[in-house]
Structure 1
Amino acid sequence: MAVDFESEIKALRATVRSIAEVSDLEKLEAQITDLETKASAPDLWDDVEAAQQVTSQLSRAKAEHDRVTSMEARVEDLEALVELGQEESDAETMAEAEKELASLHKAVSELEVRTLLNGEYDERDAVVTIRAGAGGVDAADFAEMLMRMYLRWAERQGYPTNVLDTSYAEEAGLKSATFEVKAPYAYGTLAVEAGTHRLVRISPFDNQGRRQTSFAAVEVIPLIESTDSIDIPESDLKIDVFRSSGPGGQSVNTTDSAVRMTHLPTGTVVSMQNEKSQIQNRAAALRVMQSRLLLLKKQEEEAAKKEMAGDIKASWGDQMRSYVLHPYQMVKDLRTEYEVGSTGAVLDGEIDAFLEAGIRWKRGQERAAE
């Protein structure tokens, strides 16, 4: 069946136009001009932290602007390619146009999803923590599988990551792990992964080859910024130091460089051991602690709003995704009903479709609640 390029291009152009309106390119251009003025100031680097913030904001604003304008240019180029192929009756050119049309549909869909990320902290970097749940050694192994899945996803996107803490289980896998994903909208994108993940498979740790169900919890919080007003009195913190350890409990550090920080009023605990010194681990722990308390504060505010608004049934269930490796192969999101049979690809980081479905679902729930 021949592709109706005219209607396809018309639809793409309309979608890109609506994305540009939501993105408010004029406001973005004014922001870029203002940031470029600040970035060119001769005394910019007198305050290193402020300078880094300006350059980071400028880089993000330019990337956001280019993302939309380049899409408009790609639609124009596709239209020119189609006209050329039709005038010359060139099958090879038309095949190239079909390929570009499919690529554009995917890129525009991803860009459209980005416009849904308009929450207060959505554009922040993300801090992801994975904890093994019920299921013994299989759960610890599953926690490590999930950590690899997210790190592979970030690698595929070209996003830098930084592993802050890893607590290894005795036999295999991880008790818990915490890492940063440093990219624009990393928090907004990955926030839909928060919840309980479930694995069903023949356990490689069971000598009788029985099927095992295990669980792991994923927590996603936005990374704190220097402009956020989260002050933690020293008296509210209990700080313990200990020696870092590697897999199987083997010592990897001969000094007490690892830090366990407890926020006494809330009982929130953060452990850090992957930096080289106690000072670095303490700074990293404080940053993550501030991020968790910031999110906790927001959740309390949201809960108060919901209580005032009455009972809203659109809520996130704890168990949000199942990974079934036996007796059949399937990964299914229990909120969006999105599922695929390629379990290996998903566990190797191909989770974009799940993220997109989750973001659309979450925004739909928020609209329904409003």
Structure 2
Amino acid sequence: MAGPEFAEALKALDATLSSVEAVVDLDALRTEYADLEQQAAAPDLWDDQERAQKVTSRMSVVQAEIKRMEQVRRRVDDLGVLWEMAEEADDADTRAEAETELANLQREIGELEVRTLLNGEYDARDALVTIRSEAGGVDAADFAEMLFRMYLRWAERHGYATEVYDTSYAEEAGIKSATFVVHAPYAYGTLSVEQGTHRLVRISPFDNQGRRQTSFAGVEVVPVTDTTDHVEIPEDQIRVDVFRASGPGGQGVNTTDSAVRLTHIPTGIVVSCQNERSQLQNKARAMEVLQAKLLEVRRREEQAKINALKDDSSGSWGNQMRSYVVHPYQMVKDLRTEHEVGNPQAVFNGEIDDFIEAGIRWRRSGATS
């Protein structure tokens, strides 16, 4: 890369970071952190454990955000110095190091820029993800498990903690459904663009005639409820069923009826949890999931009213949204953004950041158009 070209790229990078810093408002974050520190230092903080956990959790998030922004700014400033050193010494190795750092910063600042687009009411929350097999029989169940593994690997790549609440295995292969939580700042805002119907086209490994099969799986993403949320659920509106948990191949089968299934009678929403050790723990987890799903129902009803007022005729983007083709060619394509790649295996290994970023930008452009 020539000197003027590098200088121009660095200038553009600095301008993008400055706009991100303006949106994030570091001064406001530092003020908030100082206030949280004062609250955390109060001797009676842990008298209210719920409030204490909220304060310490928010402190951790704000501190991480400040640290990340400050580190990126420092790296951008240092990169200019590094390039000057490379030019003065005419050092090819140092130039290569600077170019690599430029590419890394472009990617990281791009992620920060996308984060600034996540300003919805619930975007900053953890995400509760449910994957279900749909049309396609055993291939669909296998596909659902592939998506389940894809999202867990994506979270692992980013160092995000996950917690599996429930996995319902299919008889022959794959899963009927799985529900899990991604614990990360802006997990809901980030993963919400993954919601919809996913389609897989491949030669079925379960067809002894080697025929091509199209199968479908659905992804639902809702925000995890917070202590400030209030969704009233009268006891007479819930049916509670208990059953024995099961695992693949007969492994991990409980000897007691510890798994819990809750049915919300007015809406027909059914949730279950079987991954905790006791029936009480599973019921508590299932109630969390039900609360989250009812909160999402309420959010969608409110959004529908807003869309009606706006005369929004664009339709929902949450139906069929991505195709994964393994045969007769290799391609994964997002049907909303037109973003596509030619390596399905990498995508199934959790490399979905480009799809997520394109989805967030696409949704934002639709909201502002």
What interval of TM-score do these two structures reach, taking the shorter chain for normalisation?
Answer: over 0.9
Q: For residue 347 of structure 1, what is the aligned residue in structure 2?
A: 348
Q: For residue 2 of structure 1, what is the aligned residue in structure 2?
A: 2
1:14-36 alpha-carbon deviations (Å, 9 max, x no partner) = 11111011112122111111111
Is residue 168–residue 249 contact of structure 1 (8 Å, CA) maintained in 2?
Answer: no
- Alignment CA distance shift 1:308-1:224 (3 Å): same
Separation (CA, whole Å) in 2 of partners of 1:339 and 1:38: 48
Of the structure 1 ranges 44-53 and 354-363, higher mean CA displacement relative to structure 2 is found in 44-53
Where 2:321 maps in the other structure, the secondary structure is: strand
Equivalent residue letter for 2:2: A
Question: Cα offset for 1:5?
Answer: 2.1
Show structure 2 runs of 5+ residues with no match: none
1:236-273 alpha-carbon deviations (Å, 9 max, x no partner) = 21111111111256671111111111111111111111
Is residue 201–residue 212 contact of structure 1 (8 Å, CA) maintained in 2?
Answer: yes
Q: For residue 53 of structure 1, what is the aligned residue in structure 2?
A: 54
Is residue 124–residue 186 contact of structure 2 (8 Å, CA) maintained in 1?
Answer: yes
1:258-309 alpha-carbon deviations (Å, 9 max, x no partner) = 1111111111111111111001100101111111111110100010111122
Q: For residue 333 of structure 2, what is the aligned residue in structure 1?
A: 332
User: What is the percentage of aligned positions where both structures have the same residue?
Assistant: 64
Is residue 244–residue 259 contact of structure 2 (8 Å, CA) maintained in 1?
Answer: yes
Separation (CA, whole Å) in 2 of partners of 1:355 and 1:6: 30
Where 1:117 maps in the other structure, the secondary structure is: coil
Q: For residue 103 of structure 1, what is the aligned residue in structure 2?
A: 104
1:297-356 alpha-carbon deviations (Å, 9 max, x no partner) = 010001011112213316315110000000110000000000001111100111111111
TM-score by length of 1: 0.97
Separation (CA, whole Å) in 2 of partners of 1:55 and 1:39: 7
Equivalent residue letter for 1:81: L
Separation (CA, whole Å) in 2 of partners of 1:315 and 1:220: 15
Is residue 314–residue 365 contact of structure 1 (8 Å, CA) maintained in 2?
Answer: no
Question: Cα offset for 1:104?
Answer: 0.8
Of the structure 1 ranges 303-312 and 281-290, higher mean CA displacement relative to structure 2 is found in 303-312
Is residue 195–residue 317 contact of structure 1 (8 Å, CA) maintained in 2?
Answer: yes
Separation (CA, whole Å) in 2 of partners of 1:311 and 1:45: 48
Separation (CA, whole Å) in 2 of partners of 1:27 and 1:232: 37
Q: For residue 25 of structure 1, what is the aligned residue in structure 2?
A: 26
Q: For residue 68 of structure 1, what is the aligned residue in structure 2?
A: 69
Task: Give the aligned CA root-mean-square deviation in angstroms.
Answer: 1.2
Separation (CA, whole Å) in 2 of partners of 1:251 and 1:358: 38
Separation (CA, whole Å) in 2 of partners of 1:281 and 1:327: 44
Separation (CA, whole Å) in 2 of partners of 1:203 and 1:131: 19
1:161-204 alpha-carbon deviations (Å, 9 max, x no partner) = 11100111000000001011111111111000000000000000
Separation (CA, whole Å) in 2 of partners of 1:324 and 1:294: 35
Where 1:208 maps in the other structure, the secondary structure is: coil
Q: For residue 144 of structure 2, what is the aligned residue in structure 1?
A: 143
Q: For residue 205 of structure 1, what is the aligned residue in structure 2?
A: 206
Show structure 1 runs of 5+ residues with no match: none
1:195 aligns with 2:186: no
Of the structure 1 ranges 81-90 and 298-307, higher mean CA displacement relative to structure 2 is found in 81-90
Separation (CA, whole Å) in 2 of partners of 1:316 and 1:154: 24
Where 1:304 maps in the other structure, the secondary structure is: helix
Q: For residue 227 of structure 1, what is the aligned residue in structure 2?
A: 228
Q: For residue 218 of structure 1, what is the aligned residue in structure 2?
A: 219
Q: How many corresponding residue pairs?
A: 368
Is residue 124–residue 185 contact of structure 1 (8 Å, CA) maintained in 2?
Answer: yes
1:133-165 alpha-carbon deviations (Å, 9 max, x no partner) = 000000000000000000011111101111100
Is residue 169–residue 248 contact of structure 1 (8 Å, CA) maintained in 2?
Answer: no
1:242 aligns with 2:243: yes
Separation (CA, whole Å) in 1 of partners of 2:265 and 2:348: 37
Is residue 188–residue 221 contact of structure 2 (8 Å, CA) maintained in 1?
Answer: yes
Q: For residue 38 of structure 2, what is the aligned residue in structure 1?
A: 37
Q: For residue 313 of structure 2, what is the aligned residue in structure 1?
A: 312
Is residue 195–residue 318 contact of structure 2 (8 Å, CA) maintained in 1?
Answer: no
TM-score by length of 2: 0.97
Equivalent residue letter for 1:70: Q
